[in-house]
Structure 1
Amino acid sequence: MLKRSSVFRNFLISYIVILLIPCVGGYISYLTSISVTQSISIDNSLIQLEKSQELLEHRMAEVEGMTRQIAISQEVNMLMNDRHQVQDVYGLWKAMRNVLTFGQTNDFLQNYFIYLANYDLILTSGSTFRPEHYYEYFHYDDMSFDEWKTQVLLKTHRSEIKPLTAYTERGMGTSVITFMQSLPLDSFNDSSPASVVVMIDEKTITGLLSGLTKGFGGWVHIYDSQGNTLALQGSVPSYVDRLKDDPAFDANKTSQFYKDDLVITTRSDKNGWVYQAGIPRTTLMENANKIKRATFILTGGTMLIGLLVGLLLARRHSVPIQSMIGIIKEQFGRDELEKRNAYDFLSGNIANMIKTNKQLEGELTLQLPLVRDAFIKRLIAGEFESHDVIVAAAKQANISLDKESGYAGILCINGYSGMDSVEILNELSATRLLVKQALLEIAGPLPVSDLGSDKLVVLFFSHENREPGQDEEERITALMEELIQHLFQEYKVSIQAGFGEGFETLMDVSQSFEQAKQALEYAVFVNSKGMLWNHEARIENTTYYYPLDAEQRLASTIRAGEEEEAGKIIDSIFEQNIARRELSVEMKHQLVGEIKGTFLKLLDQKVFQESNMLETVKRRVIDIGPAEPLDSVQAEIKSITATLCGYIANKKKDSHAKLVQRMYQYTEEMYANPDLTLYRVAEYVERPEKYISQLFKEVTGVNYSDHLIKVRMEKAAELLKESNHTVDDIAAQVGYNSSHSFRRAFKRLIGVTPSVYRQTLDE
C-alpha cells in the first residue's frame, strides 16, 4: 500500500509539473501577444492606407494619361483646328466612337467630357450638348452658368484639380472633385481651343478606402497641399477641421493617438495630397482583448481539467502497474513453454521474400538506364499530367530532381546526316558515349538521353538554386564551348547545340525542349557553328503558336483535374501569342477557333458527358468571340478550365470515397481470414496495391494495416466480453495464427492484455 502510494505521488507530481510549465510559458506568450497585436494592428492599418493611396494615385495617373491620349488623337485635333462654320458631324461621331470610350476600364473616367470652343459644343460618351443644355443636367451647386463656362470651359488648365464641390447630376445631389486639362497640352493663352473635364464622384474615391471605414469603423480624410478637402468619409467636417487646427496634433507623425482615435497620416510625394485615417482605440485593441479573455478562460479550464485528469491517471497507473508487470512476464513465459510455433512458416516465407527481393533489385539495376531514358523522353514530350507524377516517376528512375528550374538543350553530332548504314550507326553509338563521358567530366552528372542516332537531349538545372537568367545562360554557354572544344581537340568530333528558354517548373520542360529544337533547326539551316540559344534564332512569327503537343498536354491536365498545371499551359500559349508575336486579325481568329475547338472536343468526351453543367460550359466556349482581345479570351478560357478541373476533382473525391467504403465493407466481412492482406483487398477492388494503400491513408488518415488491427481488436473485445472462448480460440477467430502476436497487438491497442481485460470485465 505504501509502495502504491509512492507511485501515486510520483505520477501526480509529474503531471502537475507538466501542467505548470506550459502555463508559465503561456503567460509570457500572452504578455508578448498583447504588445505584438497592437503593433501589428497599427502596421496593418498603415499598410492598408498606403495601398489605398497608391491605388488612388494610380487611378489619377490614368486620368491624366487619358487626357494625353485625347491630346494626341487625330480626330480631336481635326475638330479643334476646324475653322469652318458648318460642324463636321462625321468627325464628331468618329471622335465620340474612338475617343470617348477610354473610360470603360476606369471608374474614375465614367463621367467626363470634351469641350470644343470653335463649335461651342460638349462631347460626352453618349451624346453632344450645348453648354447651356449640359448645365441643366450637370452643374456645380455653387457656380452659375456664366461662372462655370468662364472658369471651367474657356479658361486654360494645366492638369488642375478642383477641390471637393457639391454637384448635381440629373437632379441627384452628390460631391465631386474635378480634373481639368486644356488642349493642346502646351496651351499658354488665357483660352484654349478645347478642354477635357473629368468629374470624379466622392463615393468612387472613398470606395477605395472603404476597408478602413467599414472594417475598422473609422474615418478617412484626403486634402490637398492647400488644405482643400478632396474626400471625407466616416466623420464630420468640423471634427477634421479641429484636428488640423489643434496644436497638440503633429501632422508630420505617421501614427499617433488623438483623443479616442489612432490617426495615421501619409503624404504623397507626387501631388502633395495628405491622407489621414482614424481608427477607434476600441477597435484597434479588439483582437488583444479577445486574446486576453480567451487566455484566461483556456488557462483556468485547462488547469482544472488537467488536475482532474492527473488525479485519475495517477491512480489508474499506480494501482495496476505491479500486477501488469507480473502478468506480462507470466504470459511470455507460458508462450515459451507451450512452444506454439507459427514462425517456421513465416521465417521460410520471409527468407524466400528476401531472396526474391534481391533478384528483383538486380533486375531493376539492369533496367535502370532504360527507365531513366524513358523518363527523360516522357518529360521532354510533356506526357506527365501533374508535378506529383513527375516526382514519383523520377524517384522510380533514381533521378534526383532537387531543383525545379533550368534549360533543355539538344546536341547534334555533325557529319552524319542522312547516313544509316550499320558501320555509321555503330560509329554514332560510340560517338554518343564519348559525348556523354565528356559532358559528365565537364558539367557533372546531368539527365541525358539519346534523341535519334546523332542527337542527345540534355537538361541543365539552375546552379545553386538560382533562377534562369543571364548568369545561368552564360554559365551554360561557357560549359558548352568547353565541351565543343574538348571533343574536337581530343576526338575530332564536331557538334552543334540548340537551347530553349528557361523552364520554371518541371511541367514546362517540354516547352523548353521544343524551343531547343527550333534553335537547332535554325542553326543547321544557317550552318551556325557551336551552340545557339532560342532567343538568338531569327524565327519567323508569321503564324500563331499552338502546337499539337501543347494542345494534348492541356487536354490531359484538364482531364486529370490539375487546374494549376493547366493554367500554366494556357498562360504559356497566350504569352507566346501576345508578347512574342504580332498576329494578324486572321491569325488571331484562327487561334481562338483552335482553342475553342480543343475545349469542344474535350467536352464531347465521356468524362464530361454525365455532368449537368455540360451545356452551360459548352455555351460559354461557343460564346467566346474571335474579335475579343486575347487577354479577355485568356481569362475566360482559364475560368472554364477551373470549372472543368473542379468537376473532375469532385468526381475523383466521390470515386475515392466509394472505393474506401468498399474496402471497409470487405474488411468487415473478411477480418477473420488470416490471409487477409492489402494485396487481397487490392485484388477485390481491382486496383494496384500501392495505389489503394496511398488512397486509404489520404482519405482516412491511417494506414490500412492499422485499420485492420483495429477491426480485429474490436471484434476480439466483443468476444472476450460476450463469450467464454479461450484467448487462443478468440485469436484464431479474429484472424491470428499466433496467440502471442494477438496478445501483443491487443495490448498495444487496448492498453492491457486480453486476460486482464476479461478479468476487469468480470470484476
Structure 2
Amino acid sequence: MNLWLALKKLTQKGLNRIRLLRMSLFNRRSVFIKLLTSYILILLLPLIGGYILYSKVESITTENASHYNLAMLEQFKQSTDARLKEVDQLAQELMLNPKLNLLLNDSSEQPADTYKYIEFIRNFLERHKTKTSDFIYDYYLYFSGSDTVLKWGLKTDSRTFYNDYYRYKHMSYEEWKSKVLRAFHNMEYMPSEVLIQNMGSMPETRDNKPANVITYIQSLPIQDSMNISGALVILIEEAKIKEMIRQIEAVNESAVYIVNDKDQVVMATSQQFDVNPAFLKKLKGESGLKDEDFNGKDVIVSYTSSDRTDWKYISIMPKEIFLQPVYVLKSKAIGLFILCLILGAVAAYLMAYRNYVPLRHIVNAVLQGRSPVLRSKGNEYEFLQNTIEESFMKEQHLQGIISQQVPVIRANFLSRLLRGHVDFRTEPVETMNFLGIQFISDQFTVILIDVDDASGFAEELSERQWASIRFIMSNVSLEIAGEHHQAYFVDLDRNRMALLLNVGNERPEAAEDISQIAEQIKHIIETRFKMVLTLAVSNIHQGINRIGQCHSEALAALDYKMVKGLSVIIHYYELTPAESQYVYPIETEIQLMNYVKSGDFDKAEFLIDHIYETNFRSNPITPEISKCLFLDMASTLLKILNRLRISEREDLAEFINPIKRIEACSTAEEMYSCIKSMYQKVAEVLRKERTDHHQQMMESIAGIIMQNLTNPNLGLAWIADSMNMSQQYMSTFFKKMYGENMTNFIAKKRMEHAKRLMEDKSLTIAQIAQTIGYNNDIVFSRAFKKSEGIPPGKYRETQLRKLEEL
C-alpha cells in the first residue's frame, strides 16, 4: 500500500513536470511570435508612413501643378485681353467717327458720294491701318444702303469683295452676307474659320494663303438692332494667339480652348478632347480647377473668364505630363518596399530570436532548477533620466519665449481672421485658447476706423506718434465696446484700425449698441485728441466663418467716404445701389470747353455744378465711377491746355498735370473743389488774354475811323476788308464793344469834326462836307439835320453869334 502510494506520487510528479515542460514550450512559442509580430509591426510603420507620404506628395504635386497651370492660364488670359483691347480701341475709334454716320445713311452711288468713300478710306481707314499691330489681321466696313465694302486701299461691292479678296472656306457668299453683314451683332466674336484670300490685283504684304481667323463683328449703328445700316468686321489672326500660348510653358503643354458664352469653341490648340456643352456646364464660376476623366484619361481642367469679352479660357492637361516623375518614383518605391519588407522580416526574426535567448535561458534554468545569470546593462537608465530632465527644462524655457510672443501671434491671427484666411475645420480650438481669444456668442460685426487727419494731435507724425495714436484708439475703443460686448482691436495699416465685435447674446438691441459705440469712439477721439476719423460699420452676421464677410462689408462701406466725405460714420446697410456709369455727354464737354476758351467762368461754373448735382445728388454713383468722372473732366481741361502749348507758358505751369492733382484728393467733394478751381484759373487767364486782344482790336478800328473820316468809302465793308475780317463778325464785334452799329458811330464822329470845322468862317458848307467825306453838301445837310435837329447853316450862325457875344 505504501509502495503503491509512493509510485502514484512519483507518477503524478512526472506528469506535472511533463505538463510544465509543455507549457514552457508553448510559452516559448507564444513569446517568440509576439516579439516577431512587434518587430514586423515596427517595420511596417515607416513603410506605411512612406506610402502616406508618397500619396501626399502626389496630391501636393497635382495641386501645385494645377495652380501653376491656372496661373499660367491667367497670364495667357491677361495677354490675350490686352491684345483684344486693341480691337476694342480700333472699333471704338471707327464707330464713333462722325463721318461714318453720314456714309451709313447714304444709299446713292453718285460720283460725289464715291469721293466721300475714298476720302474716308484715305483719312481714316489708312491712318488706323498704320496704327494697328500685327495682331489685327485686317478690317473692313460694310454699308448696306449702297452695298459697299471699304477697306484700306479698297472700295468695292460685297460680292466682288467676297469672291476676289476675302472668303470663308466653309461659308457661301449668301451665308456670309446674311450671318455676318446683315445680322445684328454687338461686339461679337465668331469662332475661328479658314479665310481664303485672293487679294485681286492689289499688292499685299501677306502671303495669299488660307489663314485661320477669328472674326469680330459690330453692327452699325451701335445698339440699333432694328435698323442695321452696316457692319464693322475685324479679322484676328489665330496664329498670333497660338504664338502667345507657345510663349507660356505650362499652357503650351496642355490643350487650350477658348469658348464663348454660346458654348462655341472660338479657338483650340488641340482636338483631342471633346469640349461639349455638357462638359462646359460643369465649369461654374469665373475661374477654377477640376479633375475630369476623358475617355479613361485623367486630366486637370483649369479655366478662367475674360475681363473684356464673353470668352472663357480652358486648359486641359493630362496628369501623366507632370506626374511622370512621380510614377517613376512610385515604381522604385514599390521595389524598395518589397526589398525592405524581406530584409526587415529577416532582421525582425533575428532580433526577436536574439531578444528571446535570455528568456530561453530563464526557462531552461527553471526547468533545470537553476537560477538565471543576470547581467548588468550599464548606466543607460541614468542617461535617460538626465535626458528627460533636460527636455523638461527646455520645454519650460520654450514656453516662456512663446508667452512673450503671444501678442504678436494674436495680432497676426486676428488679422488673418478678419480677412477670412482662417479655416476652423483645421485650426484647433486650443490655438484660440492659447492666444486668449474667447467668443461669448456666434454673432459678429466689424468696425473699420480710418484716421484721416491727425495734425491736431501732433504736428509731425513720426512712427512713434502713430504708435501713440494706435494705443489711444485701442484703449478708447475697447473700453467703450467692452461694456456689453467682447471686443478685439487689430492694427491693419498705419492709419487704419479694425474693431472686431463679438455681440453679446443678452443684448437684443445690438444694432443700436453698435451705432452708439461708433458714435462714441468718433466723438471722444475727435473732441479730446483733435483727430478726424471716418468709421465704417458692417452688418451683424452669425457664425465665426462670416467674420471675413463682415470685414468685406466694412471695406465696401469705407470706400464710400470718397462720396460722402470725411469725418462720417458709414453703415453698410445704409448703402443703396449706385449707378455704374456717370453722366458726362460729349455735348456737355464741348460746351464746357467753349465756355472756358471764351473766359466765361460763370457759365462754366454753372455747368460744372450741374454735372456734380446730376451725378452725386440726383443720381448717385459708386466711388470708383466718381473718380473716373473727375479724371474725365481733368482730361477735358488737358484738351484745352494742349492747344495753348502749356509747356511754353509760365502762367499755366501749375496745370501741367491736373490728373495727378485729382488723384491726390481723397473725397469727391475735394475733387469737385479742385476741378472747379483749376477751371476758374484757366478761364481767368484766357479771359485776360481775350480782353487784351479785344482792346487792341478796338483801338485799331477807332484809329482807322479817325484817320479816314475824309474818305467817302469809309464804312463797314471798307474797314472789314482793311482788317481782313468778315463784315458780319466786324459788325457784331463793334456793336458788342460800343453798344451801337458802326455806321452811326462814323456819322457821329463826322458830325463832331464838322462842328469844329464850322468855326472857321473861310470854309463853306460844301467844303466842310467834302472834308469829312461827303460827296455833296445836300447829303451832308440831311445827315447833319438828322443828327443835330437843325441845318448846318443855321447851326453855324447860332454858334458864331454865341462866340461874338462872348
TM range, smaller chain? 0.3 to 0.5
TM (norm. structure 2) is: 0.34
TM (norm. structure 1) is: 0.36
Structure showing greater Rg: 2
